[in-house]
């Protein structure tokens, strides 16, 4: 079982904070010490000089740029990310990092459902929606290096959002990529779950694992399709977080489990995830909070 990396609380220096398109930015931070990170982990970040809002914001680690350097792709949405967007080079960011599990952790075996996660499948299907792409770039790169046959399905609302959510970087991986936009301005018109379902219907799910991150409604549909075609599916969940290390219990999600309802009915996204086997999530129950 993969052990969790020790969390570090530190202040990082801003190397770059580049706007990709309006509302989407790429933040690169330098840390005084180097530490290992795994695809799918995240950080809690806050502008160093900012007193309001008080709490840090959870951002997926987009890429490890080099020793002691990490980048974060984020959408400017709310006061926390707005404050981050104002920091220029040589500015400072308070950080808790690295947090959560990784996409390829063996600890993703759930005690109630071990039979579905006892082997690594040779093929990979990555389904990302919007800024959910921030969680999967390192995953796609690692899968390619491992020799896994990898197919990417990437959906965005518009062409502008697609470019803002790292389409250039996904294309640079040179992996098979199916692109959709809700308005048809780029790629196939419609939701990304439509070509995914076509792919599985044509036999593309045999020997595959689906990895998905994006809007809750998208991941819920991906989980339904995966179950329909009996394909293993892992989902990286987003939830409001106060602390990022399990104390505030503000990010719990309802899960399926054996036994009566109680404490075991919930998992903390920050410390038990953020990556979970999709079939243990009570998607209908949690949808009310998303």
**Residues 221-251 pLDDT 10s:** 999 999 999 999 999 998 888 898 889 988 9
Indicate the burial class of 263 (C-beta count within 10 angstroms; 0-12, 13-18, 19 or more). exposed
- Is residue 249 within 8 A of residue 268, CB to CB? The reply is yes
Question: What is the Cα–Cα distance from 180 to 183, expressed in whole angstroms?
Answer: 9
Instruction: Give this prediction's pTM.
Output: 0.92
216 preceded by a cis bond (ω within 30 of 0): no
Query: What is the per-residue pLDDT for 2?
Result: 44
Indicate the burial class of 217 (C-beta count within 10 angstroms; 0-12, 13-18, 19 or more). middle
Query: How large is the average pLDDT for residues 208-216?
Result: 97
Q: How many other β-carbons are positioned within 10 Å of the β-carbon of residue 175?
A: 18
* 27-to-8, 15, 79, 171, 288 alpha-carbon distances in Å: 19, 8, 16, 20, 32
**Residues 13-64 pLDDT 10s:** 999 999 999 999 999 999 999 999 999 999 999 999 777 777 889 999 999 9
Q: Which residue has the higher pLDDT, 257 or 82?
A: 82
Which DSSP letter does residue 72 get?
E
**Residues 157-202 pLDDT 10s:** 999 999 999 999 999 999 999 999 999 999 999 999 999 999 999 9
Query: What is the per-residue pLDDT for 208?
Result: 96
**Residues 255-267 pLDDT 10s:** 998 776 766 789 9
Q: What angle do CA 52, 252, 37 make, to 5 degrees?
A: 75
pLDDT(120) > 70: no
CA 163 from centre of chain = 17
Nearest to 44 by CA among 76, 75, 8: 8
Query: What is the per-residue pLDDT for 108?
Result: 62
Query: What is the per-residue pLDDT for 117?
Result: 47
């Amino acid at each position: 079982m993969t052990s969790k990396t020790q969390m570090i609380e530190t202040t990082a220096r801003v190397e770059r904070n580049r706007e990709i398109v309006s509302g989407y930015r790429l933040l690169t931070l330098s840390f005084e010490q180097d530490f290992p990170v795994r695809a799918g982990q995240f950080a809690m970040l806050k502008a160093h000089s900012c007193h309001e809002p008080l709490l840090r914001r959870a951002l997926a680690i987009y890429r490890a740029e080099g020793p002691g350097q990490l980048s974060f792709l984020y959408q400017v949405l709310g006061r926390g990310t707005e404050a981050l967007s104002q920091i220029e080079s040589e500015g400072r960011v308070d950080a808790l990092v690295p947090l959560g599990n990784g996409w390829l952790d063996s600890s993703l075996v759930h005690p109630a459902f071990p039979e579905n996660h006892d082997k690594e499948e040779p093929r990979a299907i990555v389904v990302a929606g919007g800024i959910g792409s921030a969680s999967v770039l390192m995953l796609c790169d690692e899968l390619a290096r491992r020799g896994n046959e990898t197919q990417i399905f990437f959906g965005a609302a518009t062409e502008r959002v697609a470019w803002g959510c790292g389409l250039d970087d996904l294309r640079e991986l040179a992996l098979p990529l199916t692109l959709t936009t809700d308005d048809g301005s780029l790629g196939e018109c419609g939701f990304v779950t439509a070509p995914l379902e076509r792919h599985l219907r044509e036999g593309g799910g045999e020997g595959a694992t689906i990895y998905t991150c994006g809007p809750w409604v998208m991941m819920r549909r991906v989980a339904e399709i995966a179950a329909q075609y009996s394909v293993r599916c892992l989902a990286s969940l987003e939830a409001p977080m106060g602390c990022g290390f399990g104390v505030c219990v503000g990010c719990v999600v309802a899960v399926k489990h054996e036994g009566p309802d109680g404490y075991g009915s919930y998992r903390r996204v920050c410390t038990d995830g953020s990556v979970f086997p999709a079939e243990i999530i009570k998607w209908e129950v949690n949808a009310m909070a998303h």
